[in-house]
Structure 1
Amino acid sequence: MLKGLASGFFSKPRDFSLPNSSWGPEMMRLYEQYNSQCGEETEGGENREGPWKRLPSYNRFLKYATGGVYLSRMIHKKARLFTRNNRDQGATFEYVLFFNSEEDKCVGVFQAGHLLEGPPGHVHGGAIATMIDTVIGTHATIACGPVLTANLNINYRRPIPLGNTVLLESSVDKKEGKKVFVTCKMTSSDGSKLHTDSTALFVSIKVSQLLLGS
């Protein structure tokens, strides 16, 4: 009995931000570009920090937060993060996020799967908005702690073909009390085409407010 409980609490979760067989050449190229600038262990066994940090991604926030195993069993225990709820690799959202604390920048590398279709052969606008909110929401959380999206404005400049890899880059413009203002642009993997530009307002919130639904 105790052994079963221990395995439930300490089993290693799957990190969805690591490469899998569905990732295309451009997805891998950008992943390796940023990952090569992350920290690494030297031959002497020392950890050398780089300007960028890869942010791990799981299928639920609660389950892998401090005390989250308990909470995830009590609050909608079957819930899954929207962008990580499909087990078919490459079918929906394939992405990885990196953060640069020195420059206060967050980037996301996103490969759009075939189940995200809107206009024939292209990515649905709602799926695009989801990825923008994911990147800038993560950035705002790093800047201010837990936040909720209060306003998100997106200019759709150019459609994204299904299967393509795009790059999202966000920056924090300013903070005002509980408010944090963030901007983001989504470009082609080589930066030559602008697909969207957006602005957002996030408001910091206490975790207890989320859990109690207040």
Structure 2
Amino acid sequence: MARSLGRLFKGFQSPAFPKAMGAELCPATCVSVRTPFVRTILALPSAFSSKPQDFSLPNSSWGPEMLRLYNHYKSQCEVEVEGEEKQEGPWQRLPSYNRSLKFTPAADLCVLPSGGVYLSKTIQSKARLFTRNITDPGAAFEYVLFVNKEKQKCVGIFQTGHLLEGPPGHVHGGAIATMIDTVTGSHATVLSGPVMTANLNINYRSPIQLGHTVLIESSLDKMESRKTFISCKVTGTDGSKLYTEATALFLSISVSHLLGG
């Protein structure tokens, strides 16, 4: 299993899915994973059930500003070169599914070495990413991410749904933190491979109204050994209003770290 996971996690070095990696994970026994939240956003399509849905594509809930920004960045994912076919542009859209990896459990229920019980089939059938666990389009986290490797930047276009309310008529601070963690963590994953959040420091400057679309812009500050330092800001779509500022630290992790306890 460790070897299978090792091959799989090599695919996290790029937001694109490697064509050579099309095999499902082998059936696995249950393992105890006692680590903080682990980034696995760039899972292979073949690791999902039959037809995985990419939730970072336009749907009927997207407002005009969400669509405008999506089309703006999407237009920079391919560029026309005179006399040649379109080539890859500076930006790439990151796909977003409602699950990470799909493991095939060996039993309905197994006992961990630590004595805990892992309800494998129940978890596998119901587990969903926190930001993609509400099926009603536009009700909660509606977002799409684009990354620019050359500039070492990532941008998230985030339309705030009515189920994210904190103060009346405004977005809950935890929902904003979730999206900052999602954007910066996705960026760190593209830069460094599998990572986990070590520190997230947020300064809230102004409340965000429900239903608004905002930009979450992530920039690499530095990389030191296993550490990736990232800065982030949440602004209005024209950049004139600052809602939130943040800094984040992510630690690269190994497969042995994932499986250890």
The two structures have a TM-score, normalised by structure 2, of 0.71
Aligned residues: 200
Unaligned segments of structure 1, at least 5 residues: 1-6, 64-68
CA deviations 1:112-165 (Å, max 9, x no partner) are 000000000000000000000000000111111111111100010010000000
For 2:199, the aligned partner's letter is N
Which has the higher mean CA deviation after the structures are superposed, 172-181 or 120-129? Answer: 172-181
Unaligned segments of structure 2, at least 5 residues: 1-45, 108-119
In structure 2, do the counterparts of structure 1 residues 27 and 102 end up closer, same or farther at CA, with 3 Å as the change threshold? Answer: same
Equivalent position of 2:101 in the other structure: 62
Rg bigger for which structure?
2
In structure 2, do the counterparts of structure 1 residues 8 and 168 end up closer, same or farther at CA, with 3 Å as the change threshold? Answer: closer
In structure 2, do the counterparts of structure 1 residues 186 and 48 end up closer, same or farther at CA, with 3 Å as the change threshold? Answer: same
Equivalent position of 1:149 in the other structure: 197
The answer to whether the aligner puts 1:24 opposite 2:72 as a matched pair is no
Q: Stretches of 4+ moved more than 6 A in 1?
A: 7-10
Selected match of 1:104 from 138, 152, 165: 152
Aligned CA RMSD, in angstroms, stands at: 2.4
CA deviations 1:170-203 (Å, max 9, x no partner) are 0111111111100000001111100001001111
Equivalent position of 1:175 in the other structure: 223
Checking the alignment, whether the CA contact within 8 Å between 2:98 and 2:133 is kept in structure 1 is yes
The two structures have a TM-score, normalised by structure 1, of 0.86
CA deviations 1:39-90 (Å, max 9, x no partner) are 2799x99451111101110001213xxxxx547x957302110000010010
By relative contact order (CA 8 Å, sep 6+), the higher-ranking structure is 2
For 1:209, the aligned partner's letter is H
Looking at secondary structure, tell me which structure has more strand per residue: 1
Counterparts of 2:247 and 2:145, CA distance in 1: 19
Equivalent position of 1:88 in the other structure: 136
Q: Deviation at 1:12?
A: 2.4
Looking at secondary structure, tell me which structure has more helix per residue: 1
